[in-house]
Structure 1
């Protein structure tokens, strides 16, 4: 369990994040409330998430299934959880069964995982689950996600063939140095335009989710300027992570 001093620190950090997001949104001519902040608490104790919850925050993300299904039941059920990491088929049922308030899976990267999610949502009698298609905009082999040229096909598959899923937009991770590689986010923005045109989706109904593992101060402005509606922020709020062993991934 984190100390009271650390818990107070994360609340202060979250407030600073919201101020930065608000400023970046206004500078980009957007409404601050149109940008969702997902506080990603991977490797962090439940007490820190609870501290942010008590401060009024409701949207949280996790990356590791085992850690997620241990933490979520200890926290209030009005939290809107996002799963962000690579999701294996054999982890889908445990995740969906343990986290009934899972609001979105951000990292659907192939037809197989989309079909499996669709089937398990139906079998559990859950309401349709929101998903984002993950696009590998940086071309790095170490990152999951479809190639930009394939994102329309996967988005179409989810929308037309997975009735228990709600196609909600696109996500990417990008390279750590956001300021020198804005093309990663330009690629995602172009993918969004193609998807909206092909599927007949209004621009405002297709979300863009971008991460913040680089320089936060610069990355948040770039992300919001490029149209992000969903910003994932971890260490800037919670501090440096202490990674578990590979069994928790």
Structure 2
């Protein structure tokens, strides 16, 4: 099925308040332009160099979201243009984003990544670390970063009850964080395989790749 048709199908299946991030990692410029011409403007990449090359060549009204794990020494390459950073999983990384954003006189929106999966390979803060990060004293030092929400990835499993339980947990942490930071508005959870459950559990942003662009080519 063409990319345009896939996009239309997904957009028709999700509520209007849910933001769709089209995950374009490893995909060529032509595929991204096909999605762009079908009206998609938000794309997610997991490698900063690849995202930067695409940013340089593609229309400037595209919003680029960094969705992968981030090495601090690479932040400088995206600080000029990145629209949202999803996977912020340490205070050191937040501090580096703040430093690089300052050079461009920007305030970069960020999501705090929460570890909700049973897999140890996933990154993110636990509940107590989240408490520490969202204290006024910590946030006051980050003048060029704005925490706009939370993000998390469920365990990669066929057990929908477990996935639902993990999303519920993230939703409860989001509600607690919102009591302290009333301005946060994004709960990013759900990918191609589980976004319908995520939306049922309160997700306002989903990251979908293979259901739009087809299987990924890593060669």
TM class, shorter-chain normalised? over 0.9
Question: In 2, distance between residues paired with 1:196 and 1:173?
Answer: 19
- Out of 12, 25, 33, the position equivalent to 1:50 is 33
Question: In 1, distance between residues paired with 2:3 and 2:67?
Answer: 21
- Out of 107, 110, 129, the position equivalent to 1:128 is 107
Q: CA deviation at 1:166?
A: 1.0
Question: In 2, distance between residues paired with 1:78 and 1:158?
Answer: 32
User: Secondary structure of 2:7's partner?
Assistant: helix
Q: CA deviation at 1:57?
A: 1.2
Extract structure 1 runs of 4+ deviating beyond 4 A.
Answer: none
- Out of 4, 7, 11, the position equivalent to 1:14 is 7
Q: CA deviation at 1:83?
A: 0.4
Question: In 2, distance between residues paired with 1:54 and 1:191?
Answer: 37
User: Secondary structure of 1:211's partner?
Assistant: coil
Once the two structures are superposed, the pairs formed by residues 151-166 of structure 1 within 5 Å of their partners are 151-156=130-135, 159-166=139-146
Question: In 2, distance between residues paired with 1:58 and 1:108?
Answer: 22
2:67–2:85 Cα contact (<8 Å) kept: yes
Structure 2: gaps spanning 5 or more residues: none
Indicate how the Cα distance of structure 1 residues 237 and 158 shifts in structure 2: closer, same or farther if over 3 A, else same.
farther
* Partner of residue 239, structure 1: 214
1:174 matched to 2:139? The reply is no
* Partner of residue 84, structure 2: 104
The Cα RMSD (Å) is 1.7
Q: CA deviation at 1:123?
A: 1.4
Q: CA deviation at 1:65?
A: 1.3
* Partner of residue 5, structure 1: none
Q: Which has the higher helix share?
A: 1
1:44–1:241 Cα contact (<8 Å) kept: yes
Question: TM-score, normalising length from structure 1?
Answer: 0.82
Aligned residues: 216
